[in-house]
Structure formats: C-alpha cells, structure tokens
Amino acid sequence: MAKKIHSCMKKHTIHLHPLGKKIQVNDQTPLIDVLHELGIEFPCGGKGTCGKCRIRLLDGEIEITDIHQRRIDQLELTPEWRLACFSKCTADLTLEIEQFNTLILADESLFDFVPQKGFGIAVDLGTTTLVAQLIDLSSAKVVDVETMLNPQAKYGSDLISRIQASLDGKAAEMTQIIRSAIGSMIEMMLKKHKVDVQKVILVGNSAMQLIFCGCDVSSLAIYPFLTDNLGFTHFHPAQLGWKFNIKENVTFYPSIGSFVGSDILAGIVATGLHDKEQYTALIDLGTNGEIVIGNSERIVCASTAAGPAFEGANISMGMRAVTGAISSFNLVDNEMSAQVIGNTFPRGICGSALIDAVAILHQLNLIGLFGEILSGDDHIHLIGSVRLTQKDINEFQLAKAAVATGLEILANHLSISLSDIGQVYIAGGFGNYINLENISALGMIKLPTERIFKMGNTALIGAKMFLFMNEKIPNSILVKTKHVNLEGDPNFQDIYVENMLL
Ligand code: FES
C-alpha cells in the first residue's frame, strides 16, 4: 500500500500585496497552506465556485491546470487572475490578495456594514495560534495581519494543561505573557501604519478569556464548571501594559458558557445562524469541539470531547494542521497517496487525514464495523513511516461519536430531526482540508455533503464583524442561546455507543 511521497525542498519567496509581507515556502506548496494562516478565507471550501480566494499575479508564474482554467473561465476572470485554492507555488511570486481589498466576507456573501472613522483591530486568541488583523473601518479592508504561535504553549499545548499550569501558580505569568504577545503584534502593525486605532476586539475560548483578563480559572477544572467573569470585559491599553493608544477601548467579547467561548459567539455571527429562518449548525473542530444548532428564534450549543483527537492529541502520529502534517489521503489505483502541508516530508497526520485514513481503510475492508483491524495486527502502515494504530482508530471513533452524538442531542433539545438542519458549517484549523464525503460516509455528520460547508476561521471573521456592530447583537444572541450539558442527557450513553460504529 505504501507509495513514495514526492517532496522537493527547493524554496520560493512569495511577496504579498497590499500587505507588503514576504513569506518563504517549499516548491509545490499549495497556496491554501500558507494563506489561511493569515486569515484569508476560502468561502466555498476550495471548490473553485465562489471566486472569493482570487489573487492577482503581479510577477512570476503559476501553472494552470485544466480544472483551474475551467473555473477561471466560469468566473469570467481576466488573465492575470488565479484562484488561490487551485494554485501551487513553483516559482518566486508577487501576488495581490484580492480579499484584502474587498469587504469582509461572511458565509459566501459580503458583510453589510456602516462605515466608521479610523481603524480597528480584530484578534482571534486561539489556544494554539494568535491572529490579529488591522481593519480600515471606513472601508472594512484588511490593512495588515500578524500571526504568532500562542507563547503559552510552553505551559502545555491543550486547554487542560493551561488550566492546570494556571492553578499551579503560573496564572499571573500566563496573563502577562499573552497580553504582551498580543500587544507586540499590534505594535508591529502600528509601526508600519501610522493610524489611529479606535478599538480592539478579542475573541477566544473561555479559558483563554479568563487568563487574558486575569481571572481565576479554577472553576473550569471542577464540575459543574460554572464560572463568572465571562461577560464583556473592557480594558484601557495601559491596564494591559500596552504603550500605544486606543481611542475607545480594548474589549474581550463574552463567552456563551463555561466551555463555549466568544470564538463560538463570533462564529454564530460569521455564519449568520442567528438570523436564519432555517436551522443551521456550526461545528468548530478546534481544541474543544463545540457544536451549535439554531435559527433566528432559538440556539443551543455544547462542547464535546471531540477536539483533541482532531488536533492530533492521543493519536500516535497525530499533529495539528501545520507544515509537515499529512492533510489528506486519497485512494488512487488501490494505493494511498498523501498530501503534506507545505509540501515537505510527512511528520505525522492531522485531523483531516485521520478521517480520510479511517474512511479508506474501512472502504478497503481492512477495518471492521467496530473499528477493529481485521488482520489482527495492532497497526496499519499508511505511507512512508506513517502508521495508524488500533488505539488511534478507537480514538477517532470516540471523537466522531462525540460530534455525531452532540448533533443528535442538540437536535433533540430543539425537538427537530437532523434532516431539519439546512446547512452545517465547519470551522477549525484543519477544516480547509476536510473531505466532506468521508465525514458524511463515516456518520460523523449524518447529512448529505451538499449541506456541509467549510468556513475557515469563523472566530476571526466574527471578530471583524463585531468591529462594526454595537453590543446589542451579541447580547441578543446570548439571550436566546442555551448551553446544554450533553452528558446530562438520559440517552447520552446509548446514542454515543451507537455512534461509535463505522
Ligand atoms: S474559489 Fe472559492 S475558495 Fe477558491
């Protein structure tokens, strides 16, 4: 089954306009691998139908495949345009990112906004990655972007270890580190752009919120995980140790519940779920695995135990969707072929590839209904030295059952069936790479693929939209949103066990 992985380590430089950024990538790197980290959205999930990821080729060469050309023709783009979702880097390039010249995207539509004076900064404070965008409030254009790994990673990569470190006396240090990291990202942008910043809006999960705000996280460690201090929190920059001026204030947006943070509130706004008549779901497969279902009248949400496996935790060769992670597997002539993020040597597999691997092995009858390896071995070689163990498969089953069960119980709470859900949006780091056929076939989301959409970083999109809204809209969402404790449902065990089957 093993197939040789093509990998060429030649490097190219990409200059990005209008930001003036320069990045180095390996030869053959798909542009989606590097651009989504800057907050660039791929609204149709890379199908080539929306045209929103288009880039203008100012210098260099991007080869166009037949399908890429067909999509360019269908979208009636002139010859200098390419679609980032179909492009690979095979030479030094200078690109103009059209999305930074246009308005904020929400869903596949443009976000309606009232122009304001000055500039704003939207920050997605992720457990793993921090992204900050400087936005011109008169035009809603992105003027600059900074990204950084969350420096709290030294206290552990997941939320539990961060909460533990905080309880072990590191709380004040962790607060100081994250405030100063975000302050330095903003400072870098303000050095390049001498502009007046009106406001900074931050979103993140509840633990990140409490740590940034300097609040006690101990309630997140003890059942029933009830915590205060999750509402709007306003700061003057000096309180955060920031030496630059912000005209209005710095605001951390409110969490919905103890493990459903303002990143999900932002996701609700980004998907427009709270305004739709039809029931819509949002699934964020980040560190926590949060699920929301709702419409303009009622919204329910929950956190599940699905996140860690899809972030690579507990998977023997698991890793996050970063350079060196296998992002997808395909079956070509009965052989598995792999895509590696950043077109480099594979170091492990990320969540999307874990889903593909299980789907393909099941399709090939190498694993059975209960996830058992039918040969009796304790692992299966996938490609190169990358392998999947029996335990990895079982971890996947737990994670996929957690998502399927979450959807089912939340639908029950609304007294609707899953088929009443018109659209499911998938957010999260590896969402761009996910194979929708496989998640549907494996029963993780029991809906046809036409109803499932990838939406990238909904937290950042929502944070940007918050810059143009008053607090009434998020407050009205909070009022109609109910947080559900999935494990408290009397049918939880039965539904969960049934959803473990492949
Ligand atoms: S055309 Fe829609 S993401 Fe590229």
The residue with tokens 């990655």 is: 129
Q: Among 40, 47, 55, 95, name the best residue to mutate to test ligand 1's pocket (greatest count of ligand atoms within 8 A of Cβ).
A: 47
- State the distance from the centre of ligand 1 to the C-alpha of 433, rounded, in angstroms: 13
Q: Is the CB of 453 under 6 A from ligand 1?
A: no
Say if CB 264 and CB 290 are below 8 A apart.
Answer: yes
Structure tokens at 148: 């950084």
The Cα–Cα gap between 140 and 177 comes to 30
Q: Is the CB of 42 under 6 A from ligand 1?
A: yes
Angle between helices 458-466 and 262-271 in degrees, nearest 10:
80
State the burial class of residue 334 (Cβ atoms within 10 Å of its Cβ: 0-12, 13-18, 19+).
exposed
pLDDT tier at 105, thresholds 50, 70, 90: low
- H/E stretch holding 263: helix 262-271
- Please give the distance, rounded to the nearest whole angstrom, from the Cα atom of residue 85 to the centre of ligand 1: 6
SS3 246: coil
Contact 435, 360 (CB under 8 A): no
Tell me the β-bridge partners of 294.
280, 299
Judge whether 326 and 348 are in contact, CB under 8 Å.
Answer: yes
Q: Which of 275, 276, 355 is nearest to 315 (CA)?
A: 355
Sequence-ordered list of residues with C-beta below 8 angstroms from that of 488, at least 6 positions apart, any chain: none
3-state secondary structure of 71: helix
pLDDT band at 68 (very low <50, low <70, confident <90, very high): very high
Amino acid at 223: Y
- Cα separation values, 168 from 138, 209, 217, 330, 447, Å: 45, 18, 11, 45, 44
Mean predicted confidence (pLDDT) in 183-190: 96
Higher pLDDT, 287 or 207: 207
Alpha-carbon distance of 431 to 45, in angstroms, equals 8
Helical packing angle, 171-192 and 206-213, nearest 10°: 90
- What is the atom index within ligand 1 of the atom nearest the CA of 53? 4
pLDDT tens sequence across 213-260: 999 888 887 776 777 778 999 999 999 999 999 999 999 999 998 889
What is the pTM assigned to this prediction? Answer: 0.86
Give the confidence band of 6 by pLDDT, cuts at 50, 70, 90.
very low
Condensed to tens digits (0 to 9), the pLDDT of residues 338-380 reads 988 888 888 899 889 999 999 999 999 999 999 999 999 999 9
Ligand 1 contact via 46 beta carbon (within 6 Å): yes
Q: How many Å apart are CA 253 and CA 268, to the nearest integer?
A: 13
Index of the ligand 1 atom closest to the CA of residue 44: 2
Average pLDDT of span 133-142: 90
